[in-house]
Structure 1
Amino acid sequence: MVFRRGSSQSWPGLGGGSGYTASLGMLRAAVLLVSLPWGAQGAACANVSMALGHRGPLPGGRYLSIGDGSVVEFEFPEKSEGIIVISSQYPGQSNGSGANPMLRVTSLDTEVLTIKNVSAITWGNRGGFVVSIHSGLPGQAPLHIQLMDPHETPPVLIEERRDFCIKVLPAEEAPATRGADQVHFSENPILYLLLPLIFVNKCSFGCKVELEVLKGLLQRPQPMLLGLLGQFLVMPFYAFLMAKVFMLPKVLALGLIITCSSPGGGGSYLFSLLLGGDVTLAISMTFISTVAATCLLPLSSAVYSHLLSIHETLHVPISKILGSLLFVAIPIAAGVLIKSKLPKLSQLLLQVIKPFSFVLLLGGLFLAYRMGVFILADVRLPIVLVGLTVPLVGLLVGYCLAICLKLPVAQRRTVSIEVGVQNSLLALAMLQLSLRRLQADYASQAPFIVALSGTSEMLALVIGHFIYSSLCPVP
């Protein structure tokens, strides 16, 4: 039996203090122990021995304990069955005077731990309960334990404890089981082979930069401010809202929010070029948003981690952000220099920029799928649906904000694209630095799906724009 969030299962006592009942309860506990995997069995056996060996009243007037009460956190491996033995020192327990107290146990994080059932056991003149559990994702699951008196209607609460916690540990990783085509994304050599090609392409974009337009943007920075508003405020909030609507697991929700908080996607000025946007504005917005990410990304992540009750220490990849800045600034500056000093080379680069960019776009889409195939192997429908909407909502939000300021059409398109295109590589780096490998790979479903969805949807827009421009040329 698997319970949904907030659910609990209670079983009344098995009744009486007879030797038969005691033997039956002990036999039930023994059978459960034998069925456990070794990692959980060791912890559970220790709990049973301490629970059965406990003597005398518990300190502080308490009746319930796990073991001798000195330990409140217990460890189990992920994705395993186990038991917890809770001893009860409530007066009159199993004395044959009527219905015994019953126990309700609730896991406060059902993604980490689910309560399968609670059974009463007795030994001699003492009583207790066996709680059968199933551990899920790595993490910590606080327990809510309630001892109830069933003589009253409704049952009266005798004692309540919230200090016990189950810590689910990640299983040993087995990277050797992956195929040769399922190399982890950070280990894929094709990524490094593409870097020189991307560098040359960025030089071509530098040849498109208009210095007069850049000076105008410095005097009127409203479009860049709109981009920051959409990228760091609207999109993370949308991700948080969708995580609640679709009831995404906490780790996956965190991955989605970090993805929507990571601006400056490398393809944004590429799409601005192909869709008739303002390339100079696109490059400026990418640079400014990447700089702002050093402060606003950790702030956004901290706020939403608190709202999700995730207590992991999040590491912002400052070195990767700085590397991204250099990888934008250096080739763009080289392109500007080529434009002023080598006009013939500049004209050559401008002629090949669109077809070359289109080829890189297709290559990036294929590479993203190949690198993320093992992460997306067990992907579920809700995160796919949310991932499909993220780029579309970003495009719509950016365009509406630009309309509010009555920006020119080219700048509207650029602001829309800058808000709608996320820097999934930055999000992946942050997740891999902050979480355990298994958790990181699970959370990385969000940036991979957003990247695949965004690239596919933008590619469809580019093809549609090309067809429209061919059929209805602007005079």
Structure 2
Amino acid sequence: MVLRRVRVGGASQPWLSLGGCGQCAGSVSLLKVALLLISLPWGARGSASANLSVALGHTMPPPRGHYLSIGDGSVMEFEFPEESEGIIVISSQYPVQGNRTEPGPVLRAFSLDTEVLTIQNVSAMTWGRGGGFVVNIRSRLPGLAPLYLQLVDPQKTPPKLIEEQRDFRIKVSPAEDPPATLSTGLVHFSENPILYLLLLLIFVNKCSFGCTVELEVLRGLLQSPQPMLLGLLGQFLVMPLYAFLMAKVFMLPKALALGLIITCSSPGGGGSYLFSLLLGGDVTLAISMTFISTVAATGFLPLSSAIYSHLLSIHETLHVPISKILGTLLFIAIPIAAGVLIKSKLPKCSQLLLQVIKPFSFVLLLGGLFLAYHMGVFILAGVRLPIVLVGLTVPPVGLLVGYGLAACLKLPVAQRRTVSIEVGVQNSLLALAMLQLSLRRLQADYASQAPFIVALSGTSEMLAFVVGHFIYSSLCPVH
């Protein structure tokens, strides 16, 4: 027996494990250590002591053909810390031939939740009338992983199933978050100096958008709110359902699936009315839809999260960042209202703001894209192809859904474009905040791959649309 350190949540902690098992087959001392090892704290918190007669090998064959056991058989659930390696010693009381010229039975071990636990390998040991197996495992995310064990006689043709066992479970417990790591991830959005410059530009830009608001159009939307209702339908019903279906099709892990669904359940982002301006949409409608959907998110976002968490069998308590939603509303309402006031009281200043709105908007798009990639690169380091493929489809699917819904009501082309953009552009930062507030660090960072990929792909794809629209408008001007 050796003492080995393993990485747990970024910190190095000692855990007991066995070394050199291949050289110790048939050793009684190893048997004593192996069977007693299960009762140590790293393996089973609930098993305070092992049966001494089992440890010494003085056992009777179990009744009803139950040959496999762990420890004294009184404990069925064993605990490991997350992100660590360890072993489980499984004893077999299936009789072994006295001369041992023929291979003994073989153990097949499977984890029924590979997000929580994976089986690395299984090695056999023999002693006395029976034998045993050392199962090497690696724990991953916190959770409960049932084990599926099969004891097979390979001498039969076909191999004979002697026993199968599904009662053992491995509980992977969360490790403590190291305080130092909390200052190197997503928390650092507020510490980046580029962000403060962008916030100032965003405020000025929103004032410019306020100068584009037509009060008559706004009053008309209050009387005929169909476009805004279509936006809510697409954002909070169709897009979360699409995310859930894609998570099933691509068999995404639960945490990643939850991150994708929450992202697709988020309200329209601030870039939606920016793209509406650049792509010939109705800017007044875009601003109104973003504001209304952000207000509606206080109810629809927790409802959608609760429904799909239940469908995914995720039992985390999800915290909706109400303070961030309120901050978003204020950051929309205050500069937009200031722009409306400037338009009515200071028309010359309003004209100046309208002249800089498009170049400002384009600079903000590039700056936001750079900042999102810079801050999310540590999360996206281990990203896998399925979530990238799904993330790339989310914005165009949202655009098609929004445009299709608007076309069904035969809305004007400008309003169709706006509804399309509103459904296709999500507030990924809101989804990111919700995931970081609700999940443990490792799970939160893993789930946060979804909003980052959707944000990066959405901004990139919309920029491509803007460039394409500019080129088309230049080559084929509308007279």
TM-score where L is the length of structure 2: 0.81
- Work out the CA distance in 1 between the residues paired with 2:359 and 2:285: 21
| Partner in structure 2 of residue 308 of structure 1 | 312
Offset at residue 147 of structure 1 (A): 5.2
Q: CA 1:360–1:139 in structure 2 vs 1: closer, same or farther (change >3 Å)? A: same
| Partner in structure 2 of residue 43 of structure 1 | 42
Offset at residue 391 of structure 1 (A): 0.9
> 1:132-189, CA deviations, whole angstroms, 9 ceiling, x for partnerless residues?
212234443222345567879674564633352231544865857999x998445434
Q: CA 1:68–1:336 in structure 2 vs 1: closer, same or farther (change >3 Å)? A: farther
Q: CA 1:317–1:45 in structure 2 vs 1: closer, same or farther (change >3 Å)? A: closer
| Partner in structure 1 of residue 15 of structure 2 | none
* Partners of 1:424 and 1:450 within 8 A in 2: yes
SS of 2:378's equivalent in the other structure is coil
| Partner in structure 2 of residue 74 of structure 1 | 78
1:354 alignment partner AA: K
SS of 2:410's equivalent in the other structure is coil
Does residue 1:264 correspond to 2:259, yes or no?
Answer: no
SS of 1:336's equivalent in the other structure is helix
Quick one: which of 338, 353, 359 aligns to 1:355? 359
| Partner in structure 1 of residue 222 of structure 2 | 218
| Partner in structure 1 of residue 116 of structure 2 | 112
Quick one: which of 142, 160, 167 aligns to 2:165? 160
| Partner in structure 2 of residue 11 of structure 1 | none
- Work out the CA distance in 2 between the residues paired with 1:419 and 1:60: 62
2:137 alignment partner AA: I
Offset at residue 70 of structure 1 (A): 4.9
Quick one: which of 26, 34, 38 aligns to 1:23? 26
| Partner in structure 2 of residue 454 of structure 1 | 458
1:87-102 counterparts in 2 under 5 A?
Answer: 87-88=91-92, 93-94=95-96, 96=98
| Partner in structure 1 of residue 328 of structure 2 | 324
Q: CA 1:53–1:406 in structure 2 vs 1: closer, same or farther (change >3 Å)? A: farther
Offset at residue 296 of structure 1 (A): 1.4
* Partners of 1:398 and 1:415 within 8 A in 2: yes
Gaps of 5+ in 1: 1-19, 35-39
SS of 1:165's equivalent in the other structure is strand
> 1:351-385, CA deviations, whole angstroms, 9 ceiling, x for partnerless residues?
22111111111111111111112222222222222
2:167 alignment partner AA: R
Offset at residue 59 of structure 1 (A): 11
> 1:273-321, CA deviations, whole angstroms, 9 ceiling, x for partnerless residues?
1111011111111111111111211222222222323222221111111
- Work out the CA distance in 2 between the residues paired with 1:44 and 1:25: 21
* Partners of 2:115 and 2:141 within 8 A in 1: yes
- Work out the CA distance in 1 between the residues paired with 2:456 and 2:288: 25
* Partners of 1:390 and 1:450 within 8 A in 2: yes
Gaps of 5+ in 2: 1-22
2:401 alignment partner AA: V
- Work out the CA distance in 2 between the residues paired with 1:345 and 1:443: 45
Offset at residue 414 of structure 1 (A): 0.2
| Partner in structure 2 of residue 346 of structure 1 | 350
* Partners of 1:207 and 1:339 within 8 A in 2: yes
Q: CA 1:225–1:162 in structure 2 vs 1: closer, same or farther (change >3 Å)? A: farther
SS of 1:256's equivalent in the other structure is helix
State, as a whole percentage, how many aligned pairs show the same letter: 77
Q: CA 1:450–1:385 in structure 2 vs 1: closer, same or farther (change >3 Å)? A: same
Q: CA 1:103–1:176 in structure 2 vs 1: closer, same or farther (change >3 Å)? A: closer
* Partners of 1:83 and 1:132 within 8 A in 2: yes
> 1:310-365, CA deviations, whole angstroms, 9 ceiling, x for partnerless residues?
22222111111111112112222222222223222222222221111111111111
Offset at residue 42 of structure 1 (A): 6.1
Q: CA 1:53–1:411 in structure 2 vs 1: closer, same or farther (change >3 Å)? A: farther
SS of 2:379's equivalent in the other structure is coil
Does residue 1:298 correspond to 2:297, yes or no?
Answer: no
Quick one: which of 199, 223, 236 aligns to 1:195? 199
Offset at residue 221 of structure 1 (A): 1.6
* Partners of 1:105 and 1:115 within 8 A in 2: yes
Offset at residue 80 of structure 1 (A): 3.5
Larger displacement relative to structure 2 (59-68 or 426-435): 59-68
* Partners of 2:24 and 2:30 within 8 A in 1: no
* Partners of 1:78 and 1:171 within 8 A in 2: no
Q: Let me know the Cα RMSD of the aligned residues.
A: 3.7
TM-score where L is the length of structure 1: 0.82
- Work out the CA distance in 1 between the residues paired with 2:164 and 2:368: 59
Q: CA 1:169–1:51 in structure 2 vs 1: closer, same or farther (change >3 Å)? A: farther
* Partners of 2:53 and 2:59 within 8 A in 1: no
- Work out the CA distance in 2 between the residues paired with 1:257 and 1:304: 8
SS of 2:137's equivalent in the other structure is strand
2:172 alignment partner AA: K
- Work out the CA distance in 2 between the residues paired with 1:192 and 1:178: 18
- Work out the CA distance in 2 between the residues paired with 1:174 and 1:235: 36
Q: CA 1:141–1:187 in structure 2 vs 1: closer, same or farther (change >3 Å)? A: farther
1:114 alignment partner AA: T
1:129-140 counterparts in 2 under 5 A?
Answer: 129-140=133-144
- Work out the CA distance in 2 between the residues paired with 1:52 and 1:107: 29
Offset at residue 191 of structure 1 (A): 2.2
1:333 alignment partner AA: A
